[in-house]
Chains A and B, each alone.
Chain A
Amino acid sequence: MHRTGELYGQFQTLEQQKASATLGMWIFLATEILFFGGLFLTYTINRQAYPDVFADASKTLSLPLGTINTLVLIASSLTMAMAVWSAEVGKKKLIPLFLVLTLILGSIFLFIKGIEYHDKYVEHHIPGLPFQFEPGSSVATNAHAELFFSLYFGMTGLHAMHMVVGVGLLIWLLRQSLKGRFTPDYNTPIENVGLYWHFVDIVWIYLYPLLYLIDRHK
């Protein structure tokens, strides 16, 4: 098994290894943009078709919880960036600290998401299970609201899965950092996980207004 920091067999130099890892992560994030992109397109088409129902359905989401989550995630990007910075300047003791903070914030996000999902379950707003929008809604309104919630669960669910993977990566990084592996000369894994984490954050920053803030001013 290779340990982090060593030169892998297929590479000639550590520079080549680092360049490859970083380029690989950027390209992977490009694929993720296209992956989420299909959902964003579906959302756009459906919102344009049923603007009123989408607005009504959006209002049944908890604005306070969604906003808290947004702030939590932005803060976690800050702590993640601090972890990368600590590695770059050689403050080895700070790395695990910031990674733990990021982990805690990420977990808070997932926990709050769980609360929101539970609320939707109670309100019969989960598509597929018996779905009922406001009592007395017409067949059409019910169907269009179910479309909104299909997209809500699809997009936030996919996002949450990516968060879970991110949490796993953070735990791995934490273990490595506790062993003192990351130095100013070698911190590629933190940097790349940082890229991933920031990407997941940016996806949420798009999801939040599109899902929670439809016509809230009205």
Chain B
Amino acid sequence: MATTTTAPAYTMPRDHYLNSSYGIRSWLLTTDHKRIAWLYLAGVTFFFTLGGIFAAMIRIHLLVPNGLLVSPETYNKLFTMHGVAMIFFFLIPSIPAVLGNFLIPLMIGAKDVAFPKLNLLSWYVYITGGCFVLYAFATGGLDTGWTFYTPLSSVYSNSAVAPAVIGIFINGFSSILTGINFAVTIHTMRAPGMTWFRLPLFIWAHYATSIIFILGTPVIAITLLLVALERVFHLGFFNPALGGDPILFQHLFWFYSHPAVYIMILPAMGVISEIIPTFARKPIFGYTFIAASSISIAVIGFFVWAHHMFLTGESTYAALAFSLLSYLVAIPSAVKVFNWTATLYKGSISYDTPMLYALGFIGLFLIGGLTGLFLACLGLDINIHDTYFVIAHFHYIMVGGAIMGYLGGLHFWWPKITGKLYPEFLARVAAITLFVGFNLTFGPQFLLGLMGMPRRYHNYPPEFQVLNVLSTAGASILAIGYLLPMVYFTWSVRYGKVAGPNPWPATGLEWSTDSPPPAENFDVTPVVDWEPYDYKNRADLGLGTSVAPLAPAHGDD
């Protein structure tokens, strides 16, 4: 039974982007999008680990109702710093800055992005923002919640708010530069024959994400700048004692932060749209609908922000409008889930690790998305707003969805990025461990929310303990699931099997060049005259042309 793709023996190409130059300067001053992807990989992995440590401490602390580990002040700093590190410095950059940077030029047949120097600048801006935030963490911490609601953050908090919001402000420009770069690259640098509707769905997803980077990020930037100014100069924009309005802050904040969640999920959906056709060896079902749904999500996503504010006392009419729009934005996501499922029908499915992540994504994103409908429902939100139900909902999407997509993508393209294969058996074990640990961690939190446990609580009434213990147990399993890839990916760079150009095989343009690719991506500029995911008409992949088994395609079997 052939449920694993077996790669024939290859040798590494002689010249590729990793050995084209050596030394620290060749990395820190690189303008090669592939090396910049590695720089980002280092950065996001660091912040993920930091955020993960905070999460571990939170879950350990919550083992007992009175709190096991830390003081209330420290606990409040832990969940704040967990949120800031994970959202702004891991989730938002992860897929676009690592996989997007590496793959977009390759997928469209270009030598690099439109503005390679801006690309490098955007990494330095990310690091600078990160340093400000780390400084804030180290000198007094941050205890306002990642949402920085005023006047708590602008007036009452005694933590290092100003350096932290300045750091996030600076980091915003990293996103903006990346968004500009990707949008222009996709518009102007496609290879001859690469029309819009021949683009891989990963590109559509990143194009939609770029729209959000461009239009949304500037608003959070100016908002956090105002918070910093208010704090340092005692101004009154958001302070009612000085005539300001705390709800204005929430409108400005959520105008970006809601589309931000689409920044976090659209690229992951793009990854899934690449993995499923590859490991089912057939075109994606409903290409145009999936592409259109990415754009729809980006656009409609700008009109739902006040669903975070149903209970602030905003006008009932506004609440009705935002609830309705929130249901509308869910439809395109549903369309994608149905199309991915339909792609599996009459496929030729293998059980490689990327496919396991993709299928896990479908199930977990489904639950996360459906529970979003609960929160969009005005009559339910009056009960479950600001409870653990919300925490469970967004972790299902961001961890069960976005992180699964990120890991699935890392596994899928690891051979292209490094030229090596990761160890398949261990990878599957890790994927399953992750899936089990994740559900055990966050499943109980839905129940905690329904029972009435509010979020951001360092203590809780004893009736909530059993589910909290269950959740912490799951977190310990989840941690193992994350540590394993860190170990075996590192191992594989040196000791992994050589992958060859196209181990799966997949149909994208990135797979037609060496693994790892040469510094200038393609020896000859490709001319595209095939449709995406067209397994039937790609004789060059060496596969059969129908579902029934055929004679061997290669002479070397």
Contact = CB atoms under 8 A, between A and B. Distances in A.
Q: Do A and B bind each other?
A: yes
Interface of A: 9-12, 16, 19-20, 23-24, 27-28, 30-32, 34-39, 41-42, 45-46, 49-50, 127-128, 140, 143-144, 146-147, 150, 154
11 contacts: A9-B112, A10-B110, A11-B114, A27-B179, A31-B176, A31-B214, A46-B243, A128-B232, A146-B242, A147-B236, A154-B229
A27 B252 contact: no
A81 to B, nearest CB: 24
A46 B236 CA distance: 11
B108 to A, nearest CB: 12
Contact of B116 (A10, A27, A46): A10
Nearest to B245: A45
Given A9-B112, A127-B233, A19 B188 contact: yes
A20 B235 contact: no
B237 interface: yes
Secondary structure of the B contact surface, majority rule: helix
Interface of B: 105, 110-116, 176, 179-181, 183-185, 187-189, 214-219, 221-223, 226, 229, 232-237, 241-245, 248, 251-252, 520, 525
Given A30-B214, A31-B176, A146-B235, A38 B243 contact: no
B215 A31 contact: yes
B252 A41 contact: yes
B184 A38 contact: no
Secondary structure of the A contact surface, majority rule: helix
B248 A20 contact: no
A137 to B, nearest CB: 13
A47 to B, nearest CB: 12
Contacts of B248: 41-42, 45
A127 B234 CA distance: 8
Given A35-B222, A143-B242, 18 more contacts: A9-B520, A19-B187, A20-B189, A23-B188, A24-B180, A27-B183, A32-B218, A34-B215, A36-B222, A39-B226, A41-B251, A41-B252, A42-B226, A42-B237, A46-B237, A143-B243, A146-B236, A147-B237
Contacts of B217: 31
A128 B242 CA distance: 12
Contacts of A23: 183-184, 187-188
A45 B248 CA distance: 8
Nearest to A129: B233
Contact of B226 (A11, A20, A144, A154): A154
Contact of A20 (B184, B215, B218, B251): B184
B180 A31 contact: yes
A128 B185 CA distance: 44
A127 B243 CA distance: 14
Given A16-B189, A28-B180, A143-B242, A128 B214 contact: no
Contact of A35 (B221, B229, B245): B221
Contacts of B215: 30-31, 34
**Interface core residue of A12, A38, A45, A46 (most chain B CB under 10 Å):** A38
Contacts of A9: 111-112, 520
Contacts of A143: 236, 241-243
Nearest to B220: A38
Nearest to A33: B218
A16 B180 CA distance: 16
Contacts of B183: 23, 27
**Interface core residue of B176, B219, B243 (most chain A CB under 10 Å):** B243
B101 to A, nearest CB: 13
Contacts of B179: 27, 31
**Interface core residue of B110, B244, B245, B251 (most chain A CB under 10 Å):** B244
B439 to A, nearest CB: 38
Contacts of B222: 35-39
A41 B176 CA distance: 21
Nearest to A53: B243
A-B pairs, top 6 by smallest CB distance, nearest first, are A128-B233, A10-B112, A38-B222, A35-B218, A34-B218, A20-B114
B184 A27 contact: yes
A154 to B, nearest CB: 7
Nearest to A8: B116
B218 to A, nearest CB: 4
Nearest to A16: B188
Given A42-B237, A154-B229, A147 B242 contact: yes
Nearest to A141: B243
B188 A128 contact: no
A159 to B, nearest CB: 13
Contacts of A12: 189, 525
B235 A50 contact: no
Nearest to A35: B218
Contact of B188 (A20, A31, A146, A147): A20
**Interface core residue of B105, B233, B241, B525 (most chain A CB under 10 Å):** B233
A45 B222 CA distance: 16
A140 B242 CA distance: 7
A27 B229 contact: no
Contacts of A154: 226, 229
A19 B190 CA distance: 13
A10 B189 contact: yes
A111 to B, nearest CB: 25
Contacts of A147: 235-237, 242-244
A50 B525 contact: no
Contacts of A24: 114-115, 180-181, 184
Nearest to B180: A27
A49 B187 CA distance: 44
**Interface core residue of A27, A32, A146 (most chain B CB under 10 Å):** A27
A10 B111 contact: yes
B180 A128 contact: no
A3 to B, nearest CB: 14
A11 B179 CA distance: 19
A24 B189 CA distance: 13
A150 B236 CA distance: 8
Nearest to B105: A10
A150 B111 CA distance: 47
Nearest to B222: A38
Contacts of A36: 222
Contacts of B221: 35
B114 A31 contact: no
Contacts of B112: 9-10
Nearest to A140: B243
